[in-house]
Amino acid sequence: MDTRQECLNHLFRFVQGGNIDEAAVAGGTILAYLATLEGKTVQLAALARLREDLTKRLEKTGVSEEAEDRHIAIEDALAKAHATLQKS
- For residue 16, the enclosing domain spans 3-87
Question: Residue-wise over 29-45: b if at least 16 C-beta within 10 A, else e?
Answer: bbeebbeebeeeeebbe
Predicted pLDDT of residue 56: 95
Number of helical (H) and strand (E) elements in the chain, helices listed first: 4, 0
CA distance 62 to 33: 27
For the whole model, what pTM was predicted?
A: 0.87
Q: What is the pLDDT along the chain (88 residues), one digit of tens a residue?
A: 588 899 999 999 999 999 999 889 989 989 989 999 999 999 999 999 999 999 999 999 988 999 999 999 999 999 999 999 999 8
Predicted pLDDT of residue 1: 59
Predicted pLDDT of residue 3: 86
The number of distinct structural domains making up the chain is 1
